[in-house]
Amino acid sequence: MKQNKLILNWLVNILKRNSFFLLYLLLLSSCDEGTRTTNQKTSYSNWYTASFENDSIPGIGLTKAYTLLKKSTDPVIVAVIDTPVDLNHPVFSNRLYINHDEIPGNNLDDDNNGYVDDINGWNFVGYDKNKSVYFTSYEIVRLIRHLENQDELDSLQLKKLIEAHQLQRETAQKRLTKSNNDLKAFYNAKKVFPHAIRSNGTIDTVASKEINPKDEEETKLKKFLTRYGRIGLYEKQLIQFKIGGEGEISKSLNLQYDDRSIAKGHAIINDIENMSQHATQVGGLIAEATNGVNFNRPDIIDIKLMFLSVSGVGDYHNNDLAAAIRYAVDNGASVINFSDSKPYSVGEEKVTQAIKYAAKNNVLMVTSAGNNNLNTDDNKWYPLDYRDDFNEFLDNLLVVGASTNKIDKLKGSFSNYGQQTVDIFAPGSKITIPNGEVDVPYIRLGGTSLASALTSASAAIIISQYPDLKAGEIKELLLQSSTNIEEDTFKSYSKSGKVLDVYKVLEKLKNRHTKH
């Protein structure tokens, strides 16, 4: 009970920061460096592929890592537990996990695994035949319901939660008001300066700079175009922010809303309604980092992606996450990427047991540290692998913070951190990734979700070369053999004090096996 009260106290403090409840599942553009959009990818030149030793850029040494790779014999499956995904994006061509024991579309559970027609994965938030629940309740809503249903009601705790919930609603309303104003300004600018808006809804920054405003209103519109063009916001994105804000208030923060009443699950993981790009961005980054074509080593490794949908705007359900982890393990995944987190967890033991199940079956799980610039040593962030004394009870869960390409500002300003609770950092700033929009197929973003994705990709590459390694060994190798940046403050941000470097791990393994 005492622990719960402490958690409630800091939960209220987090809400007062107005930074926790980010609509990052709509897009990660809440990160400080903003976004960039592009219609096509002309070359593969993301900074995270660089090597610190060779290029003085704190990347993960991916380009060098590919020089060490040998042709792998078996595919490595990475399960991406996330939102629904755009399966039609070119980045996923020939990269999807396929359940060959299932016959597509016959409405039967051919392989008797408990899931009907699960060809590429499963949608745990699916309903009807092909829809998805995009607005799930926040954990604070579930906690209020949980306390209200207790035989012995703790009125003080409930009062604090209700106050925090109200503050969150007010913050959400402010965001929605801003979204409405931004969208209105965009349409005004589109009407007054049509030449500054491209056909795909992106802002032409060159044309915007050349605008000569005639009055105060046009001056405001030019400033709007200049600012939003610089950070890369586009029309459909602004519409999504508006829809997301409306749904956050009417559903995710609604004490009477019950997403469980409709979410029964189905095999359609494709984002048919195009409501969220998060899984496309995260899975797309894993696909690109593990595509040998991008590094002049085509077909050197075979990494397949299994998509499992559990998330929306709001918080994921622990039952869904636990079931997704077990599904991934039972269906052959070697790595699980879960780029999501939350500050409180009702029924966390189900998730813990599922991660333990993954550990028993030698499956590594990678998760993001969170985008709130919080010290998670002081503020618990779930899922986690430690008790109150910070002693780890899981060796297969890897928590990743986001780093930048600037040595003097290495920690992403948005990234959570913790010397006892975050394992390692990986690039998660200003990264060009696939986007779930036909008109804007690539976008530049930042966030710990991307850092997690690069770590999962690195783990999959390592497994492709050394399939007999245990999950705990891979975690330890990544923590011990990555890049050590001689900067005292950064060292205190994680257990390892390092930035991921897959080349160094592969080099160490190569030397180890050469000696034997």
Q: What residues are annotated to the active site?
A: 82, 278, 449
Which residues lie below 8 Å from residue 187, measured CB to CB, with a gap of 6+?
A: none
C-alpha span between 47 and 50 (Å, rounded): 6
Dist. CA 84–CA 309, nearest whole Å: 5
**Partners of 270 in beta bridges:** 85
Q: What φ, ψ does residue 182 adopt, rounded to 5°?
A: -65, -45
What's phi and psi for 386, nearest 5 deg?
-140, 160
DSSP H/E element including 397:
strand 397-403
For strand 498-499 and strand 483-484, is the pairing parallel, antiparallel, or unpaired? antiparallel
Peptide bond into 343 cis (omega under 30): no
DSSP state of 259: G
- The answer to whether 411 and 417 have CB atoms below 8 angstroms apart is yes
Identify whether the C-beta of residue 292 lies closer than 8 Å to the C-beta of residue 49.
no
**Mode of pairing for the β-strands spanning 424-427 and 131-132:** unpaired
Backbone angles phi, psi at 287, to 5 degrees: -60, -40
d(Cα 375, Cα 420) in Å, to the nearest integer? 10
Q: What are phi and psi of 59, to 5 degrees?
A: -85, -170
Q: Which residues contact 282 (CB under 8 A, 6 or more apart)?
A: 80, 82, 337, 339, 449, 450, 452, 453
Q: Is 253 helix (H, G, I), strand (E, B) or coil?
A: coil
> What CA–CA distance (Å, rounded) separates 3 from 68?
49
**In sequence order, which residues have a C-beta less than 8 Å from that of residue 129 and are 6 or more positions away?**
266, 268
What span, in angstroms and rounded, lies between the C-alpha atoms of 108 and 114?
A: 10
Structural element, H or E, at residue 367? strand 364-368
Nearest in space to 185 (alpha carbons), one of 197, 174, 199, 173 = 197
Edge-first strand order for the sheet with 36-38 is 36-38, 442-445, 431-434
Token pair belonging to 515: 């000696």
Distance of CA 335 to the CA centre of its chain: 15
265 Rama sector, left if φ>0, alpha if ψ -120 to 50, beta otherwise: left
